[in-house]
């Protein structure tokens, strides 16, 4: 009743106020104030609920927009934690690097940046940030695609400091560089990698045994270059890269020197087959290098790969002639795998013809292939050459090439390339005798 009276008074109804007994003024005022406060609180609360709803809608819209940008942008958006493991990856990683986002999250950044490039990438980011900065822009980094190829991108990002002095987190974007920008970067990168490898003297040589099929004895080895890198590049990739920047001969000579140094420690009854390109055989430094090695000429076989074309044979034959007169032998490597095999053999008249694995595989089960192998044996006998069957991987293949009259063989079944040649000796003879 008192509350109703107070509201009536507040509304300006004097007649109604005189119709009822008037309560004391104090309680009426208190009730009026309380009711007003309750009303204000209710209005404020309603406004707060509406504001929170608007904020949630705005945050959701921003989040959806960022997700759309991340998923549709050609730039790769990423984040890594303090251990350099990916904590986020946008969908662009699939198109740029061959990895779906889910395949990267939780994996280290070394998944997409090779070990040789990772140290340089860290240093480039540190230099761009400066002593106290957190942001960097425009750092160019070579990523590694899932298929092994290099992908150059421009990277911008920010370091996010963490508590307790832990290593910071990083987040940023990477966008592919235009082709005209990438080519000079690739060439410079390749050149530095090749030159630093040669300067560092880190080229290794593995030897694969070659066995004489008639006696079952090891008569020679093939020297195979190995590079101390775990980035997945094959030796062929290294030599191809070197040739692309004009350092093919430089790298071949460094590999040749490493092989000759190691060959000096092999038993003297073994010859060594050294892989060289026709262009390197034309280099006037070659005869001096071979002579300086101290290796007897009759123990040296130069394998000229048949995968590389020879534009003009006359200069090549002239360069090889004095070496052959000293007792050095010439082999045609990978015969049957590339450019005009028989023409290559006819022009070079090699001492050794090495049949490529593509001709040896299945020789035991394919009649036509076996007929071709037999024809090659007859041809080699007519020109006074030996035949080495490469890539022997089964007893059946070994038995077949032996029956066909091929001179020698090599392959994983007989001995894998090794940096420690002595490990072949324990089991080689049993395998050769079993094929006879």
Could you report the per-residue pLDDT of 284-314, keeping only the tens digit for each?
999 999 999 999 999 999 998 755 667 789 9
Lowest-pLDDT choice from 63-67, 297-301, 361-365, 428-432 = 63-67
pLDDT over 70 (residue 29) = no
> Residue 85 has what DSSP assignment?
B
- What's the pLDDT band for 3 if we cut at 50, 70, 90? very low
pLDDT over 60 (residue 362) = yes
What average pLDDT score do residues 178-202 get? 86
> What's the CA gap between 330 and 300, in Å, rounded?
9
Lowest-pLDDT choice from 27-31, 60-64, 96-100 = 60-64
What average pLDDT score do residues 264-278 get? 92
Q: Which long-range contacts (CB under 8 A, 24 or more apart) does 358-367 make?
A: 359/335, 360/389, 360/390, 360/391, 360/392, 360/397, 360/401, 360/411, 361/391, 361/393, 361/397, 363/397, 363/400, 363/401, 363/404, 364/394, 364/396, 364/397, 364/399, 364/400, 365/396
> Residue 108 has what DSSP assignment?
B
- What's the pLDDT band for 73 if we cut at 50, 70, 90? low
Cβ atoms of 142 and 152 closer than 8 Å:
yes
- What's the pLDDT band for 14 if we cut at 50, 70, 90? very low
C-alpha torsion sign, points 263, 267, 268, 269: negative
pLDDT at 397: 95
pLDDT at 424: 60
pLDDT at 204: 93
- Neighbouring CB atoms inside 10 A of 25's CB total 9
List Cβ neighbours of 89 (8 Å cut-off, separation of 6 or more). Answer: 76, 77, 78, 79, 99, 101, 104, 105
Conformation bin of residue 149: beta by default, left when phi > 0, alpha when psi is -120 to 50: beta
pLDDT over 60 (residue 201) = yes
pLDDT at 187: 86
Predicted TM-score (pTM) of this structure: 0.67
pLDDT over 90 (residue 20) = no
What average pLDDT score do residues 356-367 get? 89
What average pLDDT score do residues 347-375 get? 91
Could you report the per-residue pLDDT of 137-171, keeping only the tens digit for each?
989 999 989 988 889 999 999 998 877 767 889 99
Bigger pLDDT: 132 or 142? Answer: 142
Phi, psi of 301 (to 5 degrees): -120, 125
Helix (H) or strand (E) run with residue 341 in it: helix 341-348
Give the closest residue to 414 by CA, choosing from 431, 397, 390. 431
Could you report the per-residue pLDDT of 324-354, keeping only the tens digit for each?
999 999 999 877 665 456 778 888 999 999 9
Q: What is the separation, in whole angstroms, between the first and last Cα of the chain?
A: 122
pLDDT over 50 (residue 216) = yes
Helix (H) or strand (E) run with residue 408 in it: strand 408-409
Chain-centroid distance of CA 10 in Å reads: 84
Edge-to-edge strands of the sheet including 86-89?
Answer: 86-89, 76-80, 169-176, 150-160, 135-144
pLDDT at 252: 94
What average pLDDT score do residues 206-217 get? 93
């Amino acid at each position: 009743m008192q509350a109703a009276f107070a509201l009536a008074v507040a509304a300006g109804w004097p007649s109604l106020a005189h119709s009822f007994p008037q309560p004391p003024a104090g309680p009426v005022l208190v009730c009026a104030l309380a009711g007003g406060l309750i009303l204000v609180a209710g209005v404020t609360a309603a406004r707060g609920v509406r504001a929170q709803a608007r904020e949630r809608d705005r945050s959701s819209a921003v989040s959806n927009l960022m997700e759309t940008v991340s998923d549709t942008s050609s730039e790769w958006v990423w984040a890594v934690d303090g251990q350099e493991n990916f904590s986020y990856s946008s969908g662009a990683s699939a198109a740029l690097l061959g990895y779906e986002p889910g395949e990267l999250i939780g994996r280290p950044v070394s998944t997409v940046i090779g070990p040789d490039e990772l140290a340089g990438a860290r240093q480039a980011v540190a230099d761009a940030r400066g002593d106290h900065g957190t942001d960097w822009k425009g750092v160019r980094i070579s990523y590694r695609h899932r298929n092994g190829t290099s992908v150059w991108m421009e990277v911008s990002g920010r370091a996010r400091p963490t508590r307790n002095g832990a290593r910071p987190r990083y987040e940023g974007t990477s966008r592919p560089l235009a082709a005209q920008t990438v080519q000079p970067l690739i060439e410079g990168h390749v050149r530095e990698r090749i030159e630093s490898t040669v300067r560092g003297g880190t080229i290794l040589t593995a030897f694969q045994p070659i066995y004489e099929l008639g006696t079952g004895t090891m008569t020679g080895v093939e020297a195979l270059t190995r590079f101390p890198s775990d980035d997945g590049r094959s030796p062929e990739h290294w030599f191809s890269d070197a040739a692309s920047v004009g350092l093919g001969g430089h790298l071949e000579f460094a590999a040749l020197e490493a092989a000759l140094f190691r060959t000096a420690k092999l038993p003297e009854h073994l010859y060594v087959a050294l892989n060289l390109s026709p262009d390197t055989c034309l280099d006037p430094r070659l005869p001096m290098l071979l002579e300086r090695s101290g290796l007897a000429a009759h123990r040296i076989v130069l394998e000229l790969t048949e995968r590389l074309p020879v534009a003009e044979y006359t200069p090549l034959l002239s360069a090889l002639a004095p070496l052959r007169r000293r007792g050095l032998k010439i082999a045609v490597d990978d015969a049957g795998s590339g450019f005009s095999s028989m023409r290559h053999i006819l022009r070079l008249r090699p001492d050794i013809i090495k049949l490529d694995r593509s001709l040896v595989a299945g020789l035991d089960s394919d009649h036509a292939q076996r007929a071709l192998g037999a024809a090659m044996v007859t041809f080699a006998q007519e020109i006074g050459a030996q035949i080495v069957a490469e890539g022997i991987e089964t007893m059946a293949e070994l038995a077949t090439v032996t029956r066909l009259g091929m001179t020698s063989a090599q392959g994983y079944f007989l001995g894998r390339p090794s940096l420690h040649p002595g490990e072949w000796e324990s089991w080689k003879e049993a395998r050769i005798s079993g094929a006879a």
